[in-house]
A and B are shown apart, each in its own frame.
Chain A
């Protein structure tokens, strides 16, 4: 395998969209995170629903996780 047979490597995600992706993903992530925390604070042990908690926190962590990665890439810390 020589270099001549290979094509140039491009990033799976165009660096020009890092800012937009960051804002969108972090925005949604923060929304779900806020929903989760408000739910935790306003519920008592009889109204709490574990499946709802786990689901909302899973969605929140997925969006926040990807949002944070794109935030790092946008800022220049190419992880």
Chain B
């Protein structure tokens, strides 16, 4: 069965093998027609009604060097006298010739298919039938021999023929109208960037061309829109993206292309793309699309071993043909021991380095080339590599280092002094300012001590425990003494600087001493109360006077402290 309804020639041959020899057969040879052998894109085989694909590999036969042979492995040995039916599917790209080669905008596109009526096989064929299926519209002409030939609406049937020998040929020529999109992707660059933070970014750079009949004459946009001509031109096509694809963009050199539609279905994401202009014969366009997929869909790991399992090429449009593809896989920095497994032979190029955000030594890039692909080439490849998990930390640490360098620069900058002479007044002012700051902080700590005095007194009043009180008091006294000494030293330093603030500090010290005396008085009162020397009422009266005096002193000291600044 030859299907030429699209721009591809899809041949599906159902072969019933019979073992007429004496020993079991493990494989058989399949020969390609000489007229088509240069256009072969893919060949697959399976036993009839079974899904499992059989092993297919290219071989050569010594006596027929200019023919193309493929060896197909049978799943089980074919015993003598037994038969087996195998389906062989093959696709050929660019095998249809536009005839006429140039058409105007209003003409219909017609193509020519040149093939073989008989089954071109290294073995003799007992019985065969060939059907050619074309598009829905009329068939212009078809070769009418060898008989019997019959034609229905869109199919031409040749046969059945009996008893043909091996390598028998007869011209099959069908000239028919084919307005299906003759779109070829001349160059596809697929860039897969793997990030271990949980994302895989895919970007495809696509150059495509209309490989049908060339446009002859002018292109009239008016006619195109009014009269609906240019039947073979390509207005839009649908691309199927993986189901988890997000953040899809469709751009070209100029910028974003807004004529697109994204539909999220259950199993996939359908992106309908309409290029900036319709494509007529010989016209080309370039664009790139990109999307993100989560890494858990395609990345697997065990310890330090990782494996990326993704499609080698993805769907671009139905019945697609890709002349040249380059797949680049960018792995995180520090990935080593890369090993690639592909479902079909590919050419691996030199590993490159890619530099992007927060990179030091560069990210390793695996480069793979292949030519002549069709839809059946959408299969998974596997890339194994090792990566130490700790290297992931390198990225934030680079940013931390950068910030720290910035701060170190600031620290160095504030210490730079380019003044030629020493400005004594300014220096002295700075020294005074620093001393004042120290005085203030010492005083604050001293004031905090008063709170501990009060707490101790209250505790003593409630527990009447003289020993603990004595111990606490001793401790607080010691702290108080050291702080007061500190402030006196600072006062002397201030006097040396010749500052009038020394007087203020003196006043502060005086008020503080008075405050301390009042605190001592309060302690004595409390002791007297506890031992019962005075009664409650007396204590309360004295306590009240003490408190008011202390509050006055406190506000005075606060005012002095603020005025120092």
Contacts and interface: CB of A to CB of B under 8 A. Distances in A.
B231 to A, nearest CB: 42
Given A45-B430, A46-B434, A9 B300 contact: yes
Contact of B399 (A37, A46, A54, A68): A68
A9 B430 CA distance: 60
A7 B392 contact: no
Given A11-B198, A79-B197, A44 B305 contact: no
Contacts of A61: 400-401, 403-404, 406-407
Interface string A44-79: 111110100110011011101110110011001111
Contacts of A57: 404, 407-408, 410-411
Nearest to B411: A53
B300 A7 contact: yes
B414 A79 contact: no
A79 B294 CA distance: 14
B198 A15 contact: yes
B382 A62 contact: no
A67 to B, nearest CB: 9
Given A44-B434, A61-B407, A1 B305 contact: yes
Given A6-B307, A9-B299, A62 B400 contact: yes
B470 interface: no
A54 B198 contact: no
Nearest to A12: B392
A38 interface: no
Nearest to B410: A40
Contact of A65 (B397, B417, B430): B397
A68 B357 CA distance: 12
Contacts of B395: 69, 79
A6 B198 CA distance: 17
Interface in A19-48: 36-37, 40, 44-48
Nearest to B358: A79
Contact of A58 (B297, B301, B404): B404
Interface residues of B, number: 51
Nearest to A25: B396
A10 B302 CA distance: 11
Interface string B410-427: 110011010000000000
B197 A60 contact: no
B431 interface: yes
B500 interface: no
A49 to B, nearest CB: 11
B407 A60 contact: yes
Contact of A64 (B247, B389, B403, B411): B403
Given A6-B301, A65-B403, A69-B396, A47 B433 contact: yes
Contact of A1 (B297, B358, B384): B384
A42 to B, nearest CB: 10
Nearest to A1: B305
Nearest to A15: B198
B411 to A, nearest CB: 5
B382 A65 contact: no
Interface string B289-316: 0001011110111100111010000000
B68 interface: no
B516 interface: no
A43 to B, nearest CB: 8
A76 B247 contact: yes
Given A46-B430, A76-B292, A60 B198 contact: no
A7 B296 CA distance: 9
A1 B430 contact: no
A68 B307 CA distance: 29
Contacts of B407: 36, 57, 60-61
Contacts of B307: 1, 3, 6
B196 interface: yes
Contacts of B398: 65
B25 interface: no
B195 interface: yes
Contact of B305 (A6, A36, A77): A6
B236 interface: no
Contacts of A54: 411
A48 B414 CA distance: 10
Given A45-B430, A60-B403, A77 B357 contact: yes
Interface string B424-457: 0000001101100100000000000000000000
Contacts of B430: 44-46
Given A7-B302, A78-B197, 5 more contacts: A46-B431, A47-B434, A58-B404, A61-B407, A78-B201
Interface of A: 1, 3, 5-13, 15, 36-37, 40, 44-48, 50, 53-54, 57-58, 60-62, 64-66, 68-69, 72-73, 76-79
Chain A to chain B: the 10 pairs with minimum beta-carbon distance, closest first: A11-B198, A65-B400, A57-B407, A61-B403, A78-B195, A6-B300, A46-B434, A65-B399, A61-B404, A9-B299
